[in-house]
Chain A
């Protein structure tokens, strides 16, 4: 078997980054890390999109390369609002520990 770049490798890389992103987002308590973890996971998904797009013939492959653009835009919006919230909450509570954020609990 020739040592060429396989579509599978891209997906596996995406998977690994995604897993790390999830772990960062969930297991770290600092909200900044939570945000960063989410960004990582989103990036992994983008990568996966592009990787899959390249397995499709001609015209069909465009969609998979357009969608990441939107994802990036949404991620930007998310970061924007998320950081604003962090500022707000921090001013209220003087803390960045997500364990202290439980306003939504009934």
Chain B
């Protein structure tokens, strides 16, 4: 009962801030609403018994990604989107389509009748990390995937640096 109440509160905040993202004019406001949404989702994770994901969610999403976004918006100083309307003709397609899609999927899901399992494990830090770094089990497991993700992050970082740097370099030359 209590869980439900918490869930409703957090859910409303999440949906509401998501709607704020949709409706806000300036991307900076959007980014801030997004943070709120993320935080409330992190709460829901905790509520569901996966605190580790919630923590990661806060650290990575709210802490890193949105910060990055905000910085870029501010650095470019081009966030103001006043010329373009928030919704245009395309939205005529998108909004109904998305709503219908969600409705349909929801309709199907409601009829499918799923329920929480009592024996389900709590996604604690210990359990998660044990599973993640278990090299003894058969097959490659998550460990290799984890390494690959590391590589992906590294390479994406490299790519980002290269792209930004090159452009900066040419700018300098042009100035000369």
- List B residues 65-119 near A (Cβ within 8 Å): 65, 68-69, 72-73, 76, 78-79, 81, 83-84, 86-88, 90-91, 94-95, 98-99, 101-102, 105-106, 109-110, 114-117, 119
* Given A11-B114, A43-B41, A72-B56: A19 and B87 interface contact (C-beta under 8 Å): no
- CB distance A87 to B76 under 8 Å? yes
CB distance from B109 to the nearest CB of A (A): 6
How many residues on the A side are at the interface (Cβ–Cβ under 8 A)? Answer: 78
Contact of A12 among B47, B109, B119 (CB under 8 A): B109
* Given A32-B79, A55-B117: A17 and B160 interface contact (C-beta under 8 Å): no
**A86 — which chain B residues lie within 8 A by C-beta?**
72, 76
Interface majority SS (helix, strand, loop, mixed), chain B: helix
Contact of A20 among B1, B21, B76 (CB under 8 A): B21
Residue on B nearest A51 in the bound complex, by CB? B48
- CB distance A77 to B84 under 8 Å? no
- CB distance A58 to B94 under 8 Å? no
- CB distance B114 to A8 under 8 Å? yes
0/1 interface trace, chain A 1-17, chain B, CB 8 Å (1 if under): 01111111111110111
- CB distance A33 to B156 under 8 Å? no
Q: How far is the CA of A86 from the CA of B159 in the complex (A)?
A: 13
* Given A30-B81, A33-B27, A80-B68: A91 and B171 interface contact (C-beta under 8 Å): yes
**B14 — which chain A residues lie within 8 A by C-beta?**
13, 17
0/1 interface trace, chain A 39-53, chain B, CB 8 Å (1 if under): 110010011001111
* Given A54-B117, A55-B115, A72-B61: A12 and B15 interface contact (C-beta under 8 Å): no
Q: How far is the CA of A85 from the CA of B86 in the complex (A)?
A: 22
Q: How far is the CA of A11 from the CA of B7 in the complex (A)?
A: 12
**B37 — which chain A residues lie within 8 A by C-beta?**
17, 40, 43
Contact of A13 among B44, B61, B160 (CB under 8 A): B44
**A91 — which chain B residues lie within 8 A by C-beta?**
167, 171
**Contacts beyond the supplied A35-B69, A56-B117, A76-B65: 10 A-B pairs with Cβ under 8 Å:** A20-B15, A27-B87, A43-B41, A53-B123, A65-B50, A69-B53, A75-B61, A77-B156, A79-B68, A84-B161
In the A-B complex, list the 7 residue pairs whose CB atoms are closest, starting with the nearest.
A84-B160, A32-B27, A65-B123, A77-B156, A19-B102, A27-B91, A61-B120
* 9 CB-based A-B contacts, threshold 8 Å: A52-B114, A54-B120, A65-B128, A70-B145, A72-B60, A75-B65, A79-B69, A83-B72, A96-B76
Chain A residues with CB under 8 Å of chain B are 2-13, 15-24, 26-30, 32-33, 35-37, 39-40, 43, 46-47, 50-59, 61-62, 65-66, 68-70, 72-81, 83-88, 90-92, 94-97, 99
